Amino acid sequence: MMRQGAFLSAGLVSLLVLAGCGNQTEISPVLGAMAGAAKALTKGKAAAAPAAEVTRADLAKLGVPVIKGEMKSGNATFYLVPIAVKGNVQTWSTSDDLTVTFRDGVMVETRGFGPDIMQSTGPSLAQLRAGSGSHKRSYTYLDGGDQLVRYSYECSVHFAGAASITVVAQQHTTTRVVENCTGKQGDFTNEYWFENGGKLRKSKELLVPQWGHLELARVIDGG
């Protein structure tokens, strides 16, 4: 099960370790330069003191793309960097092996959260960006007996208007798209925030019905 508060702010040190696993040659110098700064954030602080907040500047110095994830139901904040790419499928990970896999930017699998999406089918990013139409969705989970169970939904998409959002102290002008899904296991709503040009800046996507959604914000692009 995912720990409450996992990677909350103190995730900078964990990110330094993780980033070195992605492209050791290019990133190691950055890690070396940042290690002292990371230690300085915590040096001399009482154990009960809150961890120093991770800033956009901290994340930018890693030199790799970064996604900030939040799970409101578990009071958890975590940071992900890309670790594997195969065609249009990209896997991102935290330093303790929580992973989220995207297909064209849409979440399709997770690992390490406890109840995980083992596999799924759903709309493409282009379908969501279009802001209209209907489609089918399915999620496959492991139940308590380690058996695969499949939840199926009928979904529709619509535009919900312009929205100004803030991602780690930076404001973005976006268009919000809402995906409404209905199935025997209940109803849920996913949300997507697209910038001009069609880039997905933030999403709120179902993990499991009992736990709710993951909020995933693209903080650092490129790198």
CB distance 87 to 102 below 8 Å = no
- Look up residue 31 and give its two tokens: 């890690």
| pLDDT tens series, the chain, 223 aa | 544 333 333 444 444 444 444 443 333 333 333 333 334 333 443 334 445 678 999 999 989 999 999 998 878 899 999 999 999 999 999 988 899 999 999 999 999 998 899 999 999 999 999 999 999 999 999 988 889 999 999 999 999 999 999 999 999 999 999 999 999 999 999 999 999 999 999 999 999 998 899 999 999 998 4
Q: Which amino acid is at 64?
A: V
| Chain-centroid distance, C-alpha 58 | 18
Q: What pLDDT is stored for residue 37 in this prediction?
A: 38
Q: Distance between CA atoms of 109 and 58, rounded to whole angstroms?
A: 28
Q: What pLDDT is stored for residue 190 in this prediction?
A: 98
Q: What pLDDT is stored for residue 54 in this prediction?
A: 87
Q: What pLDDT is stored for residue 191 in this prediction?
A: 98
Q: Rounded to 5 degrees, what are φ and ψ at 178? A: -115, 135
Q: What pLDDT is stored for residue 145 in this prediction?
A: 83
pTM: 0.81
Residue with tokens 């990110």: 15
CB distance 172 to 165 below 8 Å = yes
Our CA dihedral for 126, 195, 201, 30, rounded to 10 degrees, sits at 120
How many separate helices (H) and strands (E) can be counted in the chain?
A: 4, 12
Q: What pLDDT is stored for residue 52 in this prediction?
A: 62
The CATH classification number of 66-220 equals 2.40.360.10
